[in-house]
Amino acid sequence: MSMKKTIVSFTIAILILFIFGSFTGCRSDNVLNPKDPVILTVWHNYGGQMKNTMDEMIDEFNETVGAEKGIILSVTSISGSATLHEKLTMAANQDPGAPELPDITTAYPKTALILANNGLLADIGMQFTDEELLAYVSRFLEEGKIKDDKLYVFPTAKSTEVLFVNKTIFNRFAQENNIGFEELGTFEGINRLAAKYYEWTDKQTPEIKSDGKMFFMPDSLFNLTMVGYQQLGDDFLKDDRLNLASPVFSKVWDCFYEPAVRGHAAIFDGYSSDLAKTGDIICALGSTAGVLFYSPTVTYENNITEPVEYVILPYPVFEGGKKIAIQRGSGMCVIKSTKEKEYAAGIFLKWFTQPEQNLRFVSCTGYLPVTKEAYGGMMTKEIETVSDQNIKELLKTAIEMQQEYDFCIPPLFNDFDRLQREYETEFKKVASKSRDEYLKVLGYNANEAFNRVAITHEQARLILQD
C-alpha cells in the first residue's frame, strides 16, 4: 500500500513539474525554443557589394537553421571597419551617446582586445568541440586567441595583402616597352617599372613636361615596413617599439620615399582603390578584402570611362628576401550575455563558416576561406563557379600564397595603433614635404632635383622615431 502511494505521489510531482515547466516557458540553458526564438543583433562591416551576399546569407540562416532551432539574426549596423572600431570602443567605454553593444559583431583583433579587456567578450571556443576546431586553419584560430588563450575572435573573414594590377593599362604599357609581369614580383622591380611608367606617360603629352603618372601605391606603409623587415630577416617591432636602427630600414625607406618624391608612387591619405578608380595609379598594394573596390570601370577626368581588367599577384618580396605576407582580417566576436544567446551565436558561427557557406561568402567578398577543407580540393573546384572575375583571380592567388608563403601576424599591444598611425603620418608628411620641394626645384634634371631635396636615412630615422 505504501509502495503504491510512493509511486503515485512521484508521478504527481513529475506531472506538476512538467506542467509548470511548460507554463513559465522556461528553457534550460542549452535548449532553444523554435516557438520563442532568440533574437541576436549583428553588426558587421561587409557593406557595399558585400551587403547583398551578407543579407542573403543571414536570411537563409533565419529561414533554415534559425527557424528550426529558434534563432533570428537581425543586422542593426553596417559600417566601415574604422567606424565600427569607433562604435565598439565607445560602447565598451560606455561613452555618452554610445550605442548599445550587439550580440555578435565583426571586429579586428585590436578592437576585440579593447572589448576583451573590459570583460565584454564570450569565449567562443566553449561552443566548439576540439574536433570541430581542428577543421579551421590553426593560425587563424591562434590569431583569434587574443587574451588568456581564449578564442575571442572567431575567424570569419581573413585577408592578406596582394598586388592589384590594372591589366588593361599595364598591357598597353608593357607591350610598348617590352616588359613582363615578372618585374612585379619584387619591390625593387616595381620601382624600376614605376620609373619607366612615369617616362612613358610623360611622353604621351609631349607638350607638358614632367606630368608623368604615378604607377603604384601601398595602402599601408606600416604593413609594408613590418612585412619587409620580416622578409629581410629582422623584426620591425622590438619591445613594443620601432626598430629603426636596423640596417634593413634603408631598403624599406628607399622603396617608397624616392618613388614618392619623384612622383612614381602616390602619397595619399585614402585608399589606393580610390586612385585606381580614376586611373591615377595602375598598381596597388592592398588587402584582399578590398578587391571589390577595384571596379571594372575606370573613370577619367572628363567622365570618360574605360572598362578594365585586373590581375592579382602575390605580395611582392624584397630582393633576396623570404616570401612572407601579412595575415590580417577580422573575425566575429560574441558579446557576453545569456547562455542561450551565446549558444545560438555558436550555432550561427558554425553554419556560417561551414565550407559551403564559407565559400559562398568568400566568392562574393574576396575574403579568404577559414577552413582547411575549403583550401583543399573543394576550393579549386568551386573557383570555377565564381562569377566575379576579380575574385576568381584573387582566390587563385590566395591558394598559391597559402602554399608558398609564410605569414606574419601583427602583434597586439596597447600602443600599436598609435605607433602605426604616427609612423604612416610622419612618413607621408616627410615624403610630401620633400615632394613639394622637389617640384619647386624641378628643372630638366630630375635626379639632381631629387638629390637636392632628399633626406638621409639617418634623418629619416630621427623623424620617424617615436
Partner 1 sequence: MPAINKLSQIKQQIKNAGTLGLSMKRRLFLFLVVLVLTMVLGVIIILLLTGTLTTGLDAEEQLLKRELNRTSRNVREQYGQLSVQTVEFSKELSVRIEKRLVEKNLEVTDIQYYPEVLEDLIAGEYERALFSLQKSKSSGVFIVLDATVNAKLENAQTSRVGLYIKNMEPNILSSFSPTVTLLRGFPSIGRNFSVPLHTQWRMEFDISDAPYYRLPMEKAVKQTLPISKLYYWSHPITLPGTSEEVMLCSVPLVDSQGNVFGVCGFEISSMLFKLTHMPDNSTYSRIFSMLAPVSRDSFVTSEAMFSGGYSARNVLLNNQLYCTKEDHRSLYRYQEEGGSSFVGFHLPVELYPKESAFLEQKWAVALLIPEEDIKNKLATFNLRLSLMFALLMMIGILISYFLSRRYIKPISKGLDILKSNDFTEAPKTKIPEIDDLIEFFSLRNEELQNSDEKEQSSEVLNDFVRNARTLSPAERSVFNLYAQQYTAKEIAAKLCLSINTIKTHTRRIYNKLNISSREELLVYIDMLKEAGKEFK
Which spans of this chain sit near partner 1 (rule: CB under 8 A)?
Answer: 8, 12, 15-16, 19, 22-23, 35-37, 39, 47-49, 51-52, 55, 58-59, 62-63, 72-74, 76-80, 82-83, 85-87, 97, 99, 268-271, 273-274, 277-278, 292-293, 295, 297, 299, 302-305
Q: Which is nearer to partner 1, 20 or 413 (CB)?
A: 20
CA-to-CA distance for 342 and 151, rounded, in angstroms? 13
> What minimum distance in Å lies between the beta carbon of 307 and partner 1?
13
Q: Which CB atom, from 293 or from 343, has the smaller least distance to partner 1?
A: 293
Q: 9 is written with which cell numbers?
A: 505521489
Minimum CB–partner distance for residue 293 and partner 1 (Å): 5
Residue 41 or 225 having the CB closest to partner 1: 41
- Residue 456 to residue 436: CA distance in whole angstroms: 17
What is the smallest separation between the CB atom of 233 and partner 1, expressed in angstroms? 36
Pairwise CA distance, residues 334 & 112, whole Å: 10
What's the half-sphere exposure (Cβ side, CA atoms, 13 Å) at 383? 20
Q: Shortest distance, CB of residue 107 to partner 1, whole angstroms?
A: 15
Within 8 A by CB and 6+ apart from 252, the residues are 224, 225, 228, 229, 318
Q: How far is CA 285 from CA 55, 66, 185, 271, 314, in A?
A: 29, 39, 12, 10, 10
State the minimum distance, in angstroms, from the CB of residue 432 to partner 1: 13
Residue 458 beta carbon to partner 1: minimum distance, rounded to whole angstroms = 32
- Nearer of residues 228 and 366 to partner 1, judged by Cβ: 366
Exposed / middle / buried, residue 97 (Cβ in 10 Å: 0-12, 13-18, 19+): exposed
Query: Would you say 175 or 297 has its CB closer to partner 1?
Result: 297
Please report how close the Cβ of residue 58 comes to partner 1 at its closest, in angstroms: 8
Nearer to partner 1, 35 or 129 (CB): 35
Please compute, for residue 354, the number of CA atoms within 13 A of its CA located in the half-sphere on the CB side: 11
63 touches 83 (CB < 8 A)? no
Q: Are the beta carbons of 313 and 326 closer than 8 angstroms? A: no
Nearer to partner 1 by Cβ, of 23 and 444: the residue is 23
Work out how close the CB of 77 gets to partner 1 at its nearest, in angstroms, rounded to a whole number: 7
Cβ neighbors of 35 (< 8 A, separation 6 or more) are 70
* Least CB distance to partner 1 at residue 336 (A): 22
Closer to partner 1 by Cβ: residue 88 or 190: 88
Q: Tell me the CB-side half-sphere exposure of residue 264, using CA atoms within 13 A.
A: 22
Would you say the C-alpha torsion 239, 244, 250, 252 has a positive or negative sign?
A: positive
Tally of residues, the chain: 466
Pick between residue 62 and residue 354 the one whose CB is nearest to partner 1: 62
Residue 288 or 327 with smaller CB distance to partner 1: 288
- Residues sharing a CB contact under 8 Å with residue 224, sequence separation 6 or more, in sequence order: 218, 252, 255, 256, 285
**Would you say 222 and 423 are in contact if contact means Cβ atoms under 8 Å apart?**
yes
* CB neighbour list of residue 269: distance below 8 Å, 6 or more residues apart: 428
Query: 234 is written with which cell numbers?
Result: 629582422
DSSP class of residue 289? G
Q: How far is the CB of 388 from partner 1 (least distance, A)?
A: 13
